[in-house]
Structure 1
Amino acid sequence: MSSSRLAQLAKFGIPILLLIWILSYMTSSREAYNTIVKTHFKSEKDKFVYEFLNSDVGGDFDGSGIAEACAQRTWTPGLILSCVPVDGGFGQVKNGHLNCIRFAMEMGAELVLPRIVQRDSKNIIITRPKNGKGPYVGEPLDYLFDYEHLNKTLQRTCPQMKVYRSMDDLWDVPQVSPPKKISLSAVEVHLTNGTVIEDMGKLKEQIKTYIEKAAPAETRRMPIRFDFEATNWAFPTAFDGPAFANNFGRLLRPRKDARLLAAVALYNLQKRYGVVGNPSRDIQNNKFAGIHLRTEADAAGKNGFPDYETQATNLLDFVRDAEARLVFVATGTTEKEKKLFANKAQEFNVTTVYKENLLEEEGLALLNEMTWDQRALVDYEIMLRAVNIAGPVESSFTWNLALERSLVPGASGEVSPVDGLFEHSDKYSTIIGRSARASALRATIWP
């Protein structure tokens, strides 16, 4: 992080981060904790941001399902799993990392936290091929996610799994490099819907059999490392039960500075338009809609994404039917397309806002220091709290939002395909379009 960015973050966030520090280390009762907030942080903005940062949409985290799953596994000291760095946007990377963690659990292995392939902010089709003079090894997990949250939560819910932050932690264990390769195809897993593991009940034995062939026990030297092929949409979330499925995805929370910017942007949205209720989870009282316009360079004409005109028409139809008058637009598209969309929305008496419109000078400077994928985290956190949202079926970003929001009490709707244009529709979220891979996404995304 550059010195200029550190100075901006200090000026912008120290009061709020100090509040977070106090709350993180307090061991007293909830009443005492609330007293400190009210006494020492009297600013309305501070309280709003605090509520935002310390609450989860969909309810409090429940780690009991994860703890039970870890307790039921057999763990092998010295058996280490690393994973090939995952590329793509937030939705793809998040689920890819969760696939890595879940595979380590099934394997009963220690885990080297997966890394992330960074995309070029000016042209996200391009990924960085080099890391200095050596091969590109990817960015650390905290490039997109809150490492401290993940580490503390895993220590509490799955203490059986030893976690290494990076391969640097194994610098003095030469026998773990190079690793042996492992993949779903190598362990002879049968797939359905193209990518989804068909029989989870067999996976543990299939992994065990493969490891024995790759490194027979009588000659195996421990520790030993296996490197797992990058995998996105493989594990059927229903297999582990709702207590696990509804909380496993929360291990990977967007990084703190992105959440802080989202909190401030949402506060400014409230002050400017009076459309936000409780900043924590009470989304039904919020009065703004959210839409995901996905027409960036990597999507244009690829991966089945519709063109700008088709997406804009579908999203404006949604806005009109939802009778929304204020719409937050999550997008990384061009200024030209933003202006086109805003002008068309005005014809329906709809005001559009973007994250850039909702931040003051210091916050905007911090946002501009972020990469394209990091800025998308701010969009995600704001969209989570809209009263209703819509986005294209091809987008894993939209699917993550919709499935996470489906945990909000009262969402009750069709999680399965519904008639007509929509692949998913409930009280709070709509996924527009139909896609052959929708069944795989619905079955494998941990909200």
Structure 2
Amino acid sequence: MMDKLRLVHYLRISSVALVFIWLFVHFAGGGDDHNRYTALFRQFRDERAVFVDDFLSHDVSGRFESDGIMSLCSGKRWTSGLVLTCDAVPGNMADVKNGVLTCIRIAIEMGAELILPNIMLRSTMDLGTVTPHDVGPRRGVPLEQFFDRPHLVNTLSDSCPQLKVHPSMDDFYNEPSMLTPFSLDLYKVPGVKVSANLKGSEGKVIDGKLGDLGKQIHGLLDNKAPRRDRKYPFHVDLRPTPSYALPAFADSPKVRNYFGRIMQVRPDLRALAGSVLFNLQKALGVTIDPRKGIDIDAFIAVELRTQHDPRKFPPYEVQASDALAFASASNMSHIYLTEGTLPEHVTTFADRARDFNFTVVTKEELVDGPDAFLLSQLSYDERFLVDYEVALRSGLFMGNGQSSFAWNVGLRREFAYGDKGAHDASHLNGAVRWFNQYSTLYGKDNVGDELRRGIWP
């Protein structure tokens, strides 16, 4: 009797094991079976978790293509022991992103090893001060305060294996030559010409081809620090690190369209943005599938900049009028207001928009529990990082031509979704600076042109 019971017990275990093996084989495989079982298991997962996972695993620009960056790096002459460091990068999230990319791109042009720069956090007492205590070297904080360092390092390792990235100066603790760097001012390099000026710490846009920059820098180094006299590792320190120094627009599309994607918003803020989008679609009754890019009829993301800022934005009345005119020309009824608006202007704008049958929401209204707590702990610029991810997936986006945030969103959406539709802004009131089917920036002629030319979105 015991043998029969034991046999039945073993048969039950074997049957369950066979079922799991069969499911694993079919689930791990490809083709229709894989898709069918993926869909089956999705039904048993939490709806929010599925949405956020889809959001995190599907970039708006699709699959990352590294061919252009790999070709760029393979065409450079690399010098072992030549190490570039860059001054900490100040500014908002868009300025910091482009500043770090500028540092990386200069290292590539030089064929140098690299220590990634830190970032400068703006004053919490005065949002218009982006470089508090700006005396001597800028110490800053690690770039993972804003961005995903492992993603950056891993993507560079795959796309530009010739570029050796060091975690910090600690890699050179026993190298005395690293203590006396050669100070590099990009604008004092012989042969470098400036085509446009940007105010403040953002720098000036260099004229010409990026391919000449490495030769020009090496010419300066050879003149001031001849190779025969150098002690390696040879430390070159870029100071300051201008955010928009390089003419990114001159890059090939395969480089410009993907170089900015090596910088990804830090994971917890991307997940928070995914939760905001999930709650937005539930609250407003719209459909958003993060696996499919944008739904042109979902919602409008609007940037109104009335908080104190180093850049001078138009008065609230002008921005609000442009925003409502823009929204009224669409077929949507929901507006998502991004960071940068004074609380009293959020209320005033929402009340006025209601007269035009628009519902206005902010991220603060769309989160609760742990998400609300995380949002409450974020700095002003970290909150912009959340809105950056949300705005990329809006049906339409409207921003300011003076805003590096708006240019980042607009250009990224252009490269992600293509420049489709007629270029006709006759239905829009106000001064339209730049637009396509998906995004519109308001401003006077040529405002922000230096940003447009210097951004890797």
Q: TM-score range by the shorter chain?
A: 0.7 to 0.9
Distance 1:354 1:122, change over 3 A: farther
Residues 331-410 of structure 1: pairs in structure 2 closer than 5 A = 331-410=339-418
Residue 350 of structure 1 aligns with an amino acid whose one-letter code is: F
Q: Say which SS state the counterpart of residue 230 (structure 1) adopts.
A: coil
Q: Which runs of 5+ in 2 are unaligned?
A: 1-27, 198-203
What code does the residue aligned with 1:340 have?
A: T
Code of the residue aligned with 1:81 in structure 2: it is L
Residue in 1 that maps onto 2:154: 152
Within a 5 Å distance, the mapping from 1:3-402 to structure 2 comes to 35=37, 39=41, 42-127=45-130, 129=132, 137-188=139-190, 189-194=192-197, 195-200=204-209, 201-228=211-238, 229-299=240-310, 303-402=311-410
Report the AA paired with residue 361 of structure 1: G
Residues 112 and 33 (structure 1), Cα distance of their counterparts in 2 relative to 1, 3 Å cut: farther
Per the TM alignment, residue 316 of structure 1 is displaced from its structure 2 partner at its CA by: 1.5
Deviation at 1:413, TM superposition (A): 5.7
Post-superposition Cα deviations, 1:34-85, rounded to whole Å, max 9, x if no partner, equal 6578538612211111111011112211111111111111111110111111
Equivalent position amino acid for 1:445 in 2: I
What is the TM-score of this pair, normalised by structure 1?
0.87
Normalised to the residue count of structure 2, the TM-score between the two structures is 0.85
In structure 2, what is the equivalent of residue 12 of structure 1?
Answer: none
Deviation of 1:400 (Å): 0.2
- What displacement does 1:273 show? 1.5
Structure of greater Rg? 2
Structure with higher RCO (Cα < 8 A, 6+ apart)? 1
Secondary structure in 2 matching 1:115 = coil
Percent of pairs identical after alignment? 38
What is the rounded CA distance, in whole Å, between the counterparts of 2:47 and 2:150 in structure 1?
27
Matched to 2:456, the amino acid is: W
Q: In 2, Cα distance between the equivalents of 1:417 and 1:155? A: 43
What displacement does 1:126 show?
Answer: 3.7
Superposition deviation, residue 167 in structure 1: 2.4
* Equivalent position amino acid for 1:145 in 2: F
The answer to whether the 8 A contact 1:390-1:429 is kept is yes
CA contact (8 A) 1:393 1:435 kept: no
The one-letter code of the counterpart of 2:269 is A
- Provide the aligned length of Structure 1 versus Structure 2: 415
Which amino acid in structure 1 is aligned with residue 83 of structure 2? I
- How much has 1:214 moved relative to structure 2? 2.5
Q: Distance in 1 between matches of 2:449 and 2:232?
A: 40
Cα deviation 1:302-349 (Å, max 9, x = unaligned): x33112121111111111122331000002332211101111111111
The residue identity in structure 2 corresponding to 1:218 is R
Provide the residue aligned with 2:16 in structure 1. Answer: none
Cα 1:82–1:252 change in 2 (3 A) is same
Q: Which residue of the partner structure matches residue 19 of structure 2?
A: none
Could you give the per-residue CA deviations for residues 360-413 of structure 1, whole angstroms, max 9, x where no partner exists? 121010111111111111111101000001011000000000000002335326
The corresponding residue for 1:13 is none
Superposed displacement of residue 435, structure 1: 5.1
SS of the equivalent of 2:407 reads helix
What is the CA–CA distance in structure 1 between the aligned matches of 2:161 and 2:29, rounded to whole Å?
26
Distance 2:195 2:442 in 1: 24
